């Protein structure tokens, strides 16, 4: 489906794979061609292909290219907020080599035609692989199944289906969807939100909502759907993926479902790992997101769940919004936050630096696990699982040492709705390679 790497070869001199000991890594013919003793390689070293470029990558961490199961690229329909081009630039700059593009575009990605369009736009942009997510129901309306099989067999090879933004709240429809996609090893990614419990909801229901007079979005609205869907997945033996888990109770339920042996996976967003609902006292809609920011206790439970593998992966829920959809009073603003260019930094701050995960753990939660859940086609899937010799040269290199202050205006997204503006975050992506071809070098899009 994609071109192989360019003919150019690269040596990553004294790079540290998964944060381990330094080594010189040769990327050639689109794969990791060799590991050589650290510092031993220079442009005229023997055994290098002609035209090899040697990069001084001393001190940089090498990870498999990151995979985001949950990205809103907004194209087609809201090209003023984001395009496939701008969103995938942001992805590459954030260390991502694959993004799964959510279906809530306009028109909705509920037909083979739309998913193929998005897939092709991704191919043309070339910054990372774009894997379209197909809608579960026609128009995200929750009434009848979209042509899931047609999307699966299209050129876009859709494996992940989601009505994200809306919950597939009808229990029977959810059951059928879970069952139906077994035929092509698909997975239903559920936006868990019982709509009757969240009508008009504006923020997490609790102490802050009571103070601020904003209608509450109760944790139980998420948890009730997760419990139901886990039972359904267990009953029909299907794969369920839970989008953007946000509550301590949800973590418990997923732990329970996994203990039953059911095929339930889950993701957490960077913002739910870091931010809490007391930020909303400013009424600044940059903090408005769905599911909403929760409490410190929820944040702690989510970090613990991600650390012990109850939550399988981090997904950004990158949700660009035009200025006029955010520069409003709280209730009128659209929910959503940018995430692609800050995700790894937030995971460093919330998981790596406190010692909940090491670099191998970060690689698992941000690259390997989401690739597995998303059913990335072989041989790419094998490549994701390893950065060893022979694997596709799809890697990201970051400098873990600097802290940088996030500036909304310098992000590649067309939108500016980052909740981290003005906040200092650790780490900086220096380079991203997609099957041997650099998409980012020296922190800039190639």
Asked if 29 is an active-site residue, the reply is no
- The residues pairing with 10 across neighbouring beta strands, listed in sequence order, are 27, 53
Q: Do 81 and 322 form a contact (C-beta atoms < 8 A)?
A: yes
The single residue of 24, 68, 163, 317 carrying the catalytic annotation is: 317
Extended strands (E) in 278-336: 313-314
Other Cβ atoms less than 10 A from the Cβ of 224: the count is 18
Per-residue string for binding with another protein, 313-342, x by CB under 8 A?
Answer: -----------xx-xxxxxxx---------
284 versus 399: smaller Cβ distance to another protein: 284
1 versus 332: smaller Cβ distance to another protein: 332
Question: For the residues of 75-121, what is the DSSP string, one character each?
Answer: TTT-TTT--HHHHHHHHHHTTEEEEEEPS-SSS-S-SHHHHHHHHHH
Per-residue string for binding with another protein, 176-205, x by CB under 8 A?
Answer: --------------------------x--x
132 versus 419: smaller Cβ distance to another protein: 419
Smallest gap, in angstroms, from Cβ of residue 205 to another protein? Answer: 5
Rule CB under 8 A: choose which of 171, 183, 210, 297 binds another protein: 210
Smallest gap, in angstroms, from Cβ of residue 326 to another protein? Answer: 8
Question: Could you tell me which of 390, 420, 422 has the C-alpha nearest to residue 293?
Answer: 420
Rule CB under 8 A: choose which of 95, 134, 216, 339 binds another protein: 216
Smallest gap, in angstroms, from Cβ of residue 294 to another protein? Answer: 13
85 versus 205: smaller Cβ distance to another protein: 205
43 alpha-carbon distance from chain centroid? 36
Alpha carbon dihedral 395, 398, 400, 405, in 10-degree steps, equals -130
Q: Is 215 in the site for another protein (CB under 8 A)?
A: yes
Rule CB under 8 A: choose which of 206, 292, 320, 400 binds another protein: 206
Q: Is 421 in the site for another protein (CB under 8 A)?
A: no
324 versus 407: smaller Cβ distance to another protein: 324
Beta-strand relationship, 437-441 and 424-434: antiparallel
* Cα–Cα distances in angstroms (integers) from residue 137 to residues 118, 197, 328, in the given order: 18, 21, 31
Fill in the DSSP letter of residue 184. Answer: G
- Cα–Cα–Cα angle for 271, 360, 53, rounded to 5 degrees: 100
Question: Could you tell me which of 128, 129, 127, 136 has the C-alpha nearest to residue 104?
Answer: 136
Instruction: Give the binding range for another protein (CB under 8 A) out of 28-36, 214-222, 267-275, 394-402.
Output: 214-222
Q: Is 297 in the site for another protein (CB under 8 A)?
A: no
Would you state the structure tokens that stand for residue 185, as one six-digit string?
A: 């090893």
Instruction: Give the binding range for another protein (CB under 8 A) out of 98-106, 107-115, 222-230, 278-286.
Output: 278-286
**407-441 core/surface letters (b: 16 or more CB in 10 A; e: else):** ebeebbbbbbbbbbbebebbbbbbbbbbbbbbbbb
Smallest gap, in angstroms, from Cβ of residue 285 to another protein? Answer: 8
Would you state the structure tokens that stand for residue 169, as one six-digit string?
A: 């709240």
57 versus 202: smaller Cβ distance to another protein: 202
Site for another protein, rule CB under 8 A = 202, 205-216, 218, 282-284, 324-325, 327-333
Active site residues: 317
């Amino acid at each position: 489906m994609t071109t192989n790497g360019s003919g150019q070869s690269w040596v990553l001199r004294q790079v540290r794979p998964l944060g381990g000991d330094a080594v010189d890594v040769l990327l050639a013919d689109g794969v990791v061609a060799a590991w050589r003793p650290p510092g031993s390689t220079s442009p005229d070293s023997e055994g290098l292909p002609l035209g090899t470029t040697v990069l001084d990558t001393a001190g940089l961490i090498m990870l498999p290219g990151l995979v985001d199961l949950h990205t809103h690229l907004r194209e087609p329909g809201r090209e003023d907020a984001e395009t496939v081009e701008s969103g995938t630039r942001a992805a590459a700059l954030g260390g991502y080599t694959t993004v799964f593009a959510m279906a809530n575009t306009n028109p909705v990605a509920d037909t083979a035609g739309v998913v193929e369009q998005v897939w092709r736009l991704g191919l043309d942009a070339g910054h990372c692989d774009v894997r379209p997510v197909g809608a579960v129901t026609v128009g995200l309306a929750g009434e009848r199944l979209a042509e899931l099989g047609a999307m699966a067999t299209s050129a876009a090879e859709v494996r992940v289906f989601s009505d994200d933004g809306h919950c597939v709240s009808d229990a029977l429809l959810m059951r059928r969807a879970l069952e139906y996609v077994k035929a092509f090893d698909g997975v239903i990614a559920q936006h868990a939100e019982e709509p009757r419990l969240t009508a008009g909801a504006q923020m997490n229901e609790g102490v802050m909502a009571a103070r601020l007079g904003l209608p509450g979005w109760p944790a139980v609205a998420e948890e009730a759907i997760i419990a139901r869907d886990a039972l359904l997945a267990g009953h029909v033996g299907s794969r369920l993926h839970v989008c953007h888990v946000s509550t301590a109770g949800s973590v418990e339920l997923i732990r329970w479902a996994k203990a039953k042996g059911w095929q339930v996976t889950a993701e957490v967003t960077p913002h739910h790992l870091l931010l809490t609902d007391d930020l909303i006292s400013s009424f600044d809609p940059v903090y408005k997101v769905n599911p909403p920011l929760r409490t410190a206790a929820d944040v702690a439970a989510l970090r613990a769940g991600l650390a012990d593998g109850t939550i399988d992966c981090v997904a950004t829920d990158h949700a660009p919004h035009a200025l006029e959809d955010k520069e409003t009073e709280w209730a009128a603003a659209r929910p959503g936050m940018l995430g692609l260019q800050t995700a790894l930094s937030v995971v460093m701050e919330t998981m790596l630096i406190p010692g909940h995960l090491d670099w191998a753990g970060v690689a698992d939660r941000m690259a390997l696990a989401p690739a597995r859940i998303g059913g990335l086609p072989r041989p790419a899937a094998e490549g994701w699982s390893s950065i060893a010799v022979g694997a596709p040269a799809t890697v990201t290199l970051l400098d873990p040492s600097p802290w940088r202050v996030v500036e909304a205006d310098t992000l590649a997204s067309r939108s500016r709705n980052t909740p981290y503006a003005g906040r200092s975050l650790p780490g900086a992506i220096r380079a991203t390679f997609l099957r041997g071809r650099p998409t980012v070098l020296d922190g800039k899009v190639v």
